[in-house]
Structure 1
Amino acid sequence: MSIIVGYLPTPEGHAALDRALEEARLRASNVVIVNRSSSAAASEGEPAQDEKVAQVLADASVAAEVIDPADDEDPAESLIAAAEQHDGELIVIGLRKRNPVGKLILGANAQRILLDAGCPVLAVKSPGPAA
């Protein structure tokens, strides 16, 4: 069984990856990182994997695998497919805060993942600024 996590190099992506690692440790599972940072980094001439992903791969306490979907592949579909291919027991995604009007509508990718995934989905948000 695997924990599938959608990752972008954003505060929400970091929160999702951190939570996926916690869940993997609790469940004695491995982590499959669907890494969307590679296409963003490649367009800026940076290495395909950012520092956060490299740290996870170097950490021996959790087995991790990275999937770099094609730039034109739908983000929701790539997470759902990864869950199907890797016996996903949980998908972890990060959500960003929205304004009052935006709260009426969940992001299209998040909505598709929540509705179409064949396993539970955990949505996390990044920690807010310290008060």
Structure 2
Amino acid sequence: MAIVVGYLATAEGRAALEAAVRESHLRSERIVVVVSTRQDEPPAQRAEVEQALAAVDRQLDSDGVEHEIRLLDGGDVADDLIGTAEETGAHLVVIGLRRRSPVGKLILGANAQRVLFDAPCPVLTVKPDPA
């Protein structure tokens, strides 16, 4: 069993990772960090992603969190998260959401909506600290 977390090197991604670490400690479960990339991503951008993931790996090691990092080239974030949750028998999926205007709150991002509706387990959504 695992906790699957969608990660990007953004405030939302960091908030999701922090929440996943807290849940990992509470549940004594490993974390599977999922990063979706496109196959046609420029090499420089790919290198930045790999550097960010190396930092995440070091952070999770120092926090004593059992983890796995998956850099997937599917290009579809929702499919990658849902597929990983199904494959690992995840108990929880954690995703970060952007803050939205009052009108924007009526519309949820397409990827977030698909994960919420189609994940095989509960989904925890988090927002970054506004500070």
Q: Classify the TM-score, shorter chain.
A: 0.7 to 0.9
Structure 2 residue 67 is the aligned partner of structure 1 residue 64: yes
Please show how residues 1-131 of structure 1 align to structure 2 within 5 Å.
1-36=1-36, 42-44=43-45, 45-46=47-48, 48-50=50-52, 52-59=55-62, 61-70=64-73, 72-129=74-131
C-alpha contact (below 8 Å) 1:31/1:65 kept by paired residues: yes
Q: Distance in 2 between matches of 1:49 and 1:81?
A: 24
Q: Which runs of 5+ in 1 are unaligned?
A: none
C-alpha contact (below 8 Å) 1:37/1:48 kept by paired residues: no
Q: Which amino acid aligns with 2:56?
A: V
TM-score (structure 1 length as normaliser):
0.87
Shift of the alpha carbon at 1:59?
A: 2.5
Structure with the bigger percentage of helix: 2
Percent sequence identity is 46
Q: Distance in 2 between matches of 1:126 and 1:27?
A: 22
- Measured on the aligned residues, the alpha-carbon RMSD in Å equals 2.2
Q: Bigger CA drift: 14-23 or 93-102? A: 93-102
Q: Distance in 2 between matches of 1:43 and 1:108?
A: 27
Shift of the alpha carbon at 1:46?
A: 3.1
**Other structure's SS at 1:127 match:** coil
Q: Distance in 2 between matches of 1:102 and 1:112?
A: 17
Q: Distance in 2 between matches of 1:16 and 1:114?
A: 14
**Other structure's SS at 2:120 match:** coil
TM-score (structure 2 length as normaliser):
0.87
Shift of the alpha carbon at 1:86?
A: 0.9
C-alpha contact (below 8 Å) 2:31/2:68 kept by paired residues: yes
